[in-house]
Structure 1
C-alpha cells in the first residue's frame, strides 16, 4: 500500500532571504522526494519581478522540472474531485492533487506577471515565454491548452506597458504554428468585442472627470495597438488547394469540437471532459477543411477588430494593407463594405487609402456604390500630388476611368479638372496629368471636342461682323477688338458634382499652356497630345505607373542621363558690348553713354557741330 502523501502547507514560512545556492538546494530536494513538497510554496515566492533575475531563473527551472511530468495527472478543476471520489480514489490523494493544481495555477499566474512586468529583463522574459508556451503545449494531456494561452494574451492586451519585446518574440517564434494562429484569432475576436462594449459603456456614462476619461482612452488605444500588432503579424493563410504541411505546436493536432468552438474558457478550465472518452488520434486536419475553419476565424477576428475606434495611424496602416493582406483571405469580402464606404466618405488621405480596397470590392465582388465617381472627383486636389500614397492613387484613378461605358460628361469633367490642376502642381504632377488626359482622350473619343473648342460668343460676333460688310465707322476698331476677345470658360472648378461642372462646354486650354512650361520634360511630353488619338491603331496608352511616383529628383536624374543631339552653346561668337542692344531702346540714351561720348568729343574724335546738335537733341528727349 502506497504511503500517504505529506501534508502540504499553503503558506511558506517567512524565512530570511535565500541565496542562489540555497534555492538550488531547495529545488534538488523538491525533485528528489515528496517529503520536501513544502519547498514548492517557498520557490513560488521567488517567481516575481521584484527578485534578482538569477533567483527567478533558478526557481523557474526547478518548478518547471517538477510540474512537467505530473501535469497530465492533475485535475482540471475542483469539480473533478467529486468525480474522482466516485472512482474510489483516496481522499488524501485527491486533496494533494487539487493542491498541486492550485499551485500550478499560481505558478502560471506568476510567470505571466513576470512576462508583462517592466522590471524584468528581456532575457528573463524570453525564458518565461518559452516556459509558458511549453505548458500551453503539454498542459492539456499533450494537446493545446487554450486556457493558459488565453490568460497570457489577456494580460498582454490589458497591460499598461507596451511590451514590444514580448510581442516580437511571440510573433517571430510561435506564429508559424497553425494551431497558435487559430487560437490567436479566437482570442482576438473576444478581445475586440470586449473593448467595443467597454467603449460603448464609457460613451454612455460620461462623467466630468476628464483625467479619468483620458486615462481610459489611452488604455483603450494601447490595447488596440497591441491587438493590431498581433493580428497583422500572423502569417497569411496558405492556399488550401496546395497540400501544405502545417506545423503544429500541440503534439497530436486538434479538432474543433463544441467546447472549442465557443473559444477558450476562463480561469484555466481545460477540456478534460472531452478528453476522457476520446482516442488520441494523430490525424491532422486536411488542408481544405482546416483552411475553411481558419478562414472563418480569420474573418471574425478582423471584422471585430475593424469595429473598434482605431487611432488615426492604425487606421491608415490598416487601409494601406487591407487589399493585400486581408481581403484575399476573407470568407466574404463584402462584409468590409460598411467599413470601406465610411472610410471613403471621410475625405482626404483616408479616402485615398480606402480607394484600393473599395475598387477591389467593386470590380471583383460586385459591390455597388452609386456615388463612387463623385467622391473620386472630389479627391482631385493639389495636395494629392504631394501625398505619400499618390503613386497607387494615380494608378487606381487611371483604372477607374478605363471603362468604355463611362458617360461623356464624366470623362470630360475628370479631364478638365486634371488640366486645371496642371497649372498649380509640381512638374512631376503635370507629367502624370498629361498621361491621364492622353489615356482619357484615347479611350473616350466623345470628349475629343475639348482639344479645340471655340466659344459660341466668338462665332456670333464673327457672323454679325460679316453681315456688316464694309460699313465700318469710327467704332470699327473697338468692334474688332471685342470680336477677338477670348471667350469665357464655362467650366466650374469649384463644383463638386461632375454633372454640374459644364466641362463639355469648355476646352483644354490649360494643356496648351504647358507647351511653354519652364520644365523641359513637361513641354516635350505635351507634344504627345498633338497626335490624332481617335485613331487607336496608331496610338497606344501611356503607362501611368512610369510617372506616378515622380519628383524633382527623378526629373533631374532623367535629364542628367538624357543624351541631347545638339548641345546649347554658352558663349557668343562676338563679344557683346552692352547688356541690351540698341534696338531694344530705340530713341533713348543713357547717362553713361552720354558721358562716354562727351569724353570722346573732347579728344577730337567728334568735332562736327551736327553731332553736337544731335547729342543735345537726344539729351533733351531724355530730360523730357
Structure 2
C-alpha cells in the first residue's frame, strides 16, 4: 500500500510537533495543523513522531467524530437538502470526514507495514480499535474494521504479530467476533471469485500466475489463522453473558438508542435502517443464535477456497472439535468431508473423525464408507502422525453387531496380513482389533483355526483356485472387501506372532487362544491403550517390568548353526569351509601365544 500523501512533510522536531497538536486541540483557527499531523502517520516516520501525532489526532477526532456526516462510500448516507449542502458548517464537517477517512487509511498502512516496530504497532491497534468502538455514534464501526481485516488478508507480506495481537486482545469480545465472521465471509467469497476468474483467463505469463497463486495461498493462510483463533461461541455455563467491545445492544444504552430514533433520522434510507437492525441483533439475549449463523457462513465460505495442503490438514485435524459442534447445520459439511475422504492417504485418515460424527450423530448416509475404510489399511498408516485417533475410530466403526460376516472377516484378515510388515507397536494394535472383532462377531471365529479339508465341495471344485496344501484364498490386493475371499482363509499370520522376537507381542497374542465366543468370560480391549505405541513405549514398558528369571547367554555346547535342523527339515546351515576356518583360528591362537611369551620375556 502506497502512502496517500504525495509529498513528505518537512522535518520537524518533536517539540514543534507537540505544539501543533496543542494548537489543533485548542482552537478551530489552527485546523490547518490537521494535514500536517497526518503527514507524520507513516511507517517511514520516526516512531516518536508517529506516536505524538497519533495522540493529538486521536484526541481531536474523538471529540468531533459523532457530529461528522457519513463518508461518501458509506451505505447509510443520509438524505440532505440542497440548502444544507451550501452550509459552511456542513462543508467543514464533510472535510473533516474526508480527513478522518485518510487518517484511518494511514493507521492501517502503519499497522501492516513490516517496518513498524511491534511496540508501536500495538499502540496504533489500540487507537484504531477505539475508533471502531466509538466512531459510529456509540455502536460498532464495522466498515473501518472490515477495512482493517481486508488489509491484513490482502497484504503481500506476513503480518503474524498483528493477527496474534488482534486475536489475543479483542476476540474475547462478542461483537468483535460477530463482525469478524461477517468480514471473513466477504473476504472468502472475494478470493473464491478471484480464483474462478483466474482459471477462466488462465493465459499469460507463467511467473505472474505463480505469484498470483502464492499471494492467494498467503491470504488463505491468514484467513485460516484468524477464523481458527476465535474462541468458542458458548460459555461454560451455556448462558449468553458475553462481554461487548462497543455499547451497542446493551440494556444500559436504551436511552441513547431512543435519541438515535428521533424525527430527524426517521427519513434515513434503508441502509441506515439495516445498520440499526444489526445493532439490535447484538443484544446479549439474541447474540448466540445469530452468532451460530455467522459462524456457519464464514466457515463454509472459507472451506470453498482452494486451501493449501498444509492448511487443509490443519483444518481436518480440528474440524470435529472446533467447528462441527458450533455449526447451525453440520450436515452441510458432507460434500467437503466426502471429497476429502476420497482423496486417500493421510487426508482420508484426518477426515474420518468428522465424517464419523456426521454419520453417527447427524444421520449422514455414505454407502461406500466401509470400502474406503478398508482401502486405508496399509503399512504406512501405522507410522502416521494421527494413527492413534484412526485406530480408535476404526474400532468404533467395526463395533456394530449388524456388520455382515464377510465385512468383519475382511477387516480381520487384512489386519492379520499387515501384522507381517508393521512395527511391534502396530502388531499390538492389530491383535487388540482382531480380539474385539472375534468377540463381537462369533460367525468369523472359523478364521482362528481352519484346516485344508474344511472347505466345502463347491470351493474344492472352483477352477479359479489352486489346490495345493497351504494355499491362501485371500486376495490382499483386492480393494473391495466382498471380493477378497476372506471367509475362505484363516488368520495364520497371527499364529506366527507367537514366536515373535518382541516379548510383548508374543505374550499378548496368547489372548486370542481363549474362546472369545463366551462373552461372559471375556472383555473387549481398549484400543486407546495400544494405539499410541512405539519402539520407545515398548522399551520403556520392558525395562520397568520385574523379571524373576534373567536369561543368560550360556551354552552347554558351542552352537554350529544359526537355526537348529529340527526347525527346517531338509535344510542345512553348515558351511563347507568350516574346517578351514578352525585351522586358521588355531594358527592365529598359536601366533598370539608366541607374542605373549615374547612380551613376558
TM-score, with length taken from structure 1? 0.82
Is the CA contact 1:12–1:41 (under 8 Å) kept in the aligned structure 2? no
2:463: which partner in 1? none
Q: CA deviation at 1:566?
A: 2.2
Question: What pairs up with 1:285-300 in 2 under 5 angstroms?
Answer: 285-287=283-285, 289-300=286-297
Deviation readout 1:419-439 (Å, 9 max, x if unpaired): 000000000000000000000
Shift of the 458–357 alpha-carbon distance from structure 1 to 2, 3 Å rule, reads closer
Matched, 1:100 2:96: yes
d(CA) in 1 for partners of 2:497, 2:94 = 85
3-state DSSP of counterpart to 1:522: helix
Stretches of structure 2 that go unaligned for 5 or more consecutive residues are: 252-267, 461-465, 566-573, 587-601
Among 486, 508, 522, the residue aligned to 1:539: 522
Matched, 1:524 2:518: no
d(CA) in 2 for partners of 1:276, 1:540 = 62
Stretches of 4+ moved more than 6 A in 1? 10-15, 79-82, 86-90, 269-272, 275-278, 457-460, 591-597
1:610: which partner in 2? none
Shift of the 425–13 alpha-carbon distance from structure 1 to 2, 3 Å rule, reads closer
Matched, 1:361 2:358: yes
Matched, 1:18 2:18: no
1:246: which partner in 2? 242
Q: Tell me which structure has the larger Cα radius of gyration.
A: 1
1:197: which partner in 2? 193
Q: CA deviation at 1:456?
A: 3.7
d(CA) in 2 for partners of 1:535, 1:55 = 83
d(CA) in 2 for partners of 1:377, 1:106 = 60
Question: What pairs up with 1:164-563 in 2 under 5 angstroms?
Answer: 164-238=160-234, 242-253=238-249, 273-274=272-273, 285-287=283-285, 289-456=286-453, 486-563=469-546
Shift of the 412–185 alpha-carbon distance from structure 1 to 2, 3 Å rule, reads same
* Structure 1 vs Structure 2 CA RMSD: 3.3
Shift of the 596–211 alpha-carbon distance from structure 1 to 2, 3 Å rule, reads closer
Deviation readout 1:241-297 (Å, 9 max, x if unpaired): 722421000023379xxxxxxxxxxxxx9999449999x99x97244x221100000
Is the CA contact 1:12–1:42 (under 8 Å) kept in the aligned structure 2? no
3-state DSSP of counterpart to 2:478: coil
Q: CA deviation at 1:70?
A: 0.9
Q: CA deviation at 1:497?
A: 0.2
3-state DSSP of counterpart to 2:515: coil
2:52: which partner in 1? 58
Shift of the 593–436 alpha-carbon distance from structure 1 to 2, 3 Å rule, reads closer
Deviation readout 1:198-232 (Å, 9 max, x if unpaired): 10110010113101100110110011000000000
Shift of the 207–32 alpha-carbon distance from structure 1 to 2, 3 Å rule, reads same
Q: CA deviation at 1:565?
A: 2.6
Deviation readout 1:582-607 (Å, 9 max, x if unpaired): x999x99946989999xxxxxxxxxx
Is the CA contact 1:140–1:270 (under 8 Å) kept in the aligned structure 2? no
How many pairs are equivalent? 547
2:122: which partner in 1? 126
Shift of the 14–316 alpha-carbon distance from structure 1 to 2, 3 Å rule, reads closer
Stretches of structure 1 that go unaligned for 5 or more consecutive residues are: 1-9, 256-268, 464-481, 598-624
d(CA) in 1 for partners of 2:11, 2:309 = 50
TM-score, with length taken from structure 2? 0.85
Q: CA deviation at 1:87?
A: 8.7
Is the CA contact 2:14–2:49 (under 8 Å) kept in the aligned structure 1? yes
d(CA) in 2 for partners of 1:353, 1:150 = 33
1:620: which partner in 2? none
Among 19, 27, 36, the residue aligned to 2:30: 36
Is the CA contact 1:427–1:552 (under 8 Å) kept in the aligned structure 2? yes
1:619: which partner in 2? none
Is the CA contact 2:473–2:485 (under 8 Å) kept in the aligned structure 1? yes
Deviation readout 1:359-399 (Å, 9 max, x if unpaired): 00000000000000000000000000000000000000000
Is the CA contact 1:457–1:487 (under 8 Å) kept in the aligned structure 2? no
d(CA) in 1 for partners of 2:378, 2:276 = 67
